[in-house]
Amino acid sequence: MKAFIKEFKEFAMRGNVMDMAVGVVIGGAFGAIITALVDNIITPIIGAAMGGVNFSKLAITVGKAQIGYGAFIQAVIDFLIVAFCIFCLLKAMNKAANLKKKEEEAPEEPTTKECPFCKTEIAIGATRCPNCTSVLELNADIDLEPESK
């Protein structure tokens, strides 16, 4: 039993489990904020625009059962707001990750070029093609001298 408890403790204290727990707590708090926003601000504004409709009291009675579709409408609005916020957050995170990836993938300087005469690939600093022996013009951008240290 001690081994089981030790294994569970190691599992629970791993970074990704703790991160997930923090995310759930923050998500719950965020959900409460969104619910308050929808219940107290958004649906009253929509209700006022629709002629004073109170969404929380919208219901249909079928036999003896009362179906509160107004609460469902509020829950759908809650969901759409939360989903939109998560979408925007993920989009921003992906954009930041792509920017970092692009910085890391800077293009390397070319090490070869094409011989203008025989079209074979040769070293960028070559002055004569090793295949067709044509004399090549030096590229002014290429430093042929080794760096002295």
Q: Is residue 40 part of a domain?
A: yes
In total, how many domains does the chain have?
2
Q: Would you say the pTM of this structure is higher than 0.85?
A: no
**Domain co-membership, 76 together with 133:** no
**Domain co-membership, 64 together with 131:** no
**Domain co-membership, 61 together with 124:** no
User: What would the pLDDT profile of 75-89 be if each residue is shown by its tens digit?
Assistant: 888 888 888 888 888
User: What would the pLDDT profile of 93-135 be if each residue is shown by its tens digit?
Assistant: 888 888 877 766 667 788 888 998 899 898 888 888 888 888 8
Range of the domain at 123: 110-141
Q: Which residues pair with 122 in a beta bridge?
A: 113
Residue partners of 142: CB distance under 8 A and separation at least 6: 124, 125
- For residues 94 and 87, what is the distance between their CA atoms, to the nearest angstrom? 10
Q: Is residue 120 part of a domain?
A: yes
Residue of 31, 24, 17, 149 lying closest to 81 (CA atoms): 31
- For residues 6 and 62, what is the distance between their CA atoms, to the nearest angstrom? 55
Q: Is residue 91 part of a domain?
A: yes
**Domain co-membership, 43 together with 90:** yes
Residue 67 has pLDDT above 60, yes or no: yes
Of the spans 15-29, 37-51, 58-72, 87-101, which averages the highest pLDDT? 58-72
